């Protein structure tokens, strides 16, 4: 599982980030200040850090200097939206820079992009006779390539990374389509039906009543 450290001193924002990312299938730990974050980074491995700039004890830029040698991708999340601040953040080594207030769907999409770019998940996932290669964006079943659309491929990756976990339609839509879910939409269900048939997940990708879907392969 992908493990994310959230470094944010405002509890409402920290809790929103933790709940949203956990719902999307990520493991999250929160740090309320820069000093605490530095201590926990020394003890544990993380795949991504979401980092506020205006922090007590040690600010985000100073903490960025501490994180950089550890080769952990960072996304700055801050109220400082001026161009010079964004440029400074990116030059400091951050992979992305998100200005508050932000939409959760955009945040999830940016997190996904950074994790893929930094290859923080296994390139090839094997489920039975199915191989999902996230670098080549290719799926093979029994050695034969399966023709998937971009959205079907993204769904396959999402379910493979969250086996055994029930994912809501809202979470699925926001992770794959990168925008807020429209309640009542059948888009997710139609794409899941096609994916099931193409990769042979008719019995493994199961509907969860009034929630969404769960891959049990």
Which of these three, 117, 142, 175, is where a domain ends?
A: 117
Specify the pLDDT at position 19.
Answer: 92
Q: Residue 118 carries which DSSP code?
A: T
- Measured from the Cβ of residue 55, the count of other Cβ atoms closer than 10 Å reads 23
User: Residue 32 in contact with residue 76, Cβ under 8 Å?
Assistant: no
Q: Both 163 and 112 in a single domain?
A: no
Give the span between the Cα atoms of 189 and 126, in whole angstroms: 24
Peptide bond into 125 cis (omega under 30): no
- pLDDT tens-place string over residues 60-98: 999 999 998 888 999 999 888 788 888 888 888 899 999
Residue 192 domain boundaries: 124-215
* Backbone torsions φ then ψ of 133, nearest 5 degrees: -105, 105
Per-residue pLDDT of the chain (217 residues; tens, 9 = 90+): 688 999 999 999 999 999 999 888 888 999 999 999 999 998 888 989 999 999 988 999 999 999 988 889 999 998 887 888 888 888 888 999 999 988 898 899 899 888 877 765 556 788 989 988 876 778 999 889 999 999 999 999 899 988 898 999 999 998 888 888 888 889 999 999 999 999 999 999 999 998 999 999 8
Strand runs (DSSP E) across 45-178, as ranges?
Answer: 48-51, 74-78, 96-99, 124-127, 130-133, 138-141, 144-146, 167-168
User: Based on the domain organization, do 104 and 169 belong to the same domain?
Assistant: no
pTM of the model: 0.60
Helix (H, G, I), strand (E, B) or coil at 123: coil
Last residue of a domain, one of 102, 117, 132: 117
| Domain CATH code at residue 149 | 1.10.10.10
- Same domain for 12 and 106, yes or no, is yes
Question: The dihedral of CA 66, 72, 73, 78: what is its sign?
Answer: negative
Q: What pLDDT shows up at residue 210?
A: 87
Per-residue pLDDT at 120? 58
Check residue 122 and give its pLDDT: 54
């Amino acid at each position: 599982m992908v493990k994310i450290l959230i470094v944010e001193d405002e509890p409402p924002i920290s809790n929103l980030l933790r709940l949203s990312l956990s719902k999307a299938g990520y493991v999250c730990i929160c740090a309320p200040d820069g000093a605490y974050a530095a201590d926990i980074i020394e003890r544990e491995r993380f795949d991504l850090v979401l980092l506020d700039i205006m922090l007590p004890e040690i600010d985000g830029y100073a903490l960025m200097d501490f994180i950089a040698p550890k080769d952990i991708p960072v996304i700055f999340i801050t109220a400082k939206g001026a161009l010079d601040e964004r440029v400074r953040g990116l030059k400091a080594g951050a992979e992305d820079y998100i200005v508050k207030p932000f939409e959760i769907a955009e945040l999830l999409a940016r997190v996904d992009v950074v994790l893929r770019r930094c290859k923080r998940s296994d390139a090839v996932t094997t489920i039975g006779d199915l191989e999902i290669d996230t670098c080549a964006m290719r799926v093979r079943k029994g050695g034969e390539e399966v023709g998937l659309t971009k959205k079907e491929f993204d769904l396959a990756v999402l379910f493979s990374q969250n086996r055994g976990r029930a994912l809501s339609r809202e979470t699925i839509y926001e992770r794959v389509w990168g925008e807020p879910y429209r309640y009542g939409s059948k888009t997710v269900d139609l794409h899941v039906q096609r994916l099931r048939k193409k990769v042979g997940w008719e019995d493994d990708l199961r509907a969860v009543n009034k929630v969404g879907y769960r891959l049990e392969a």
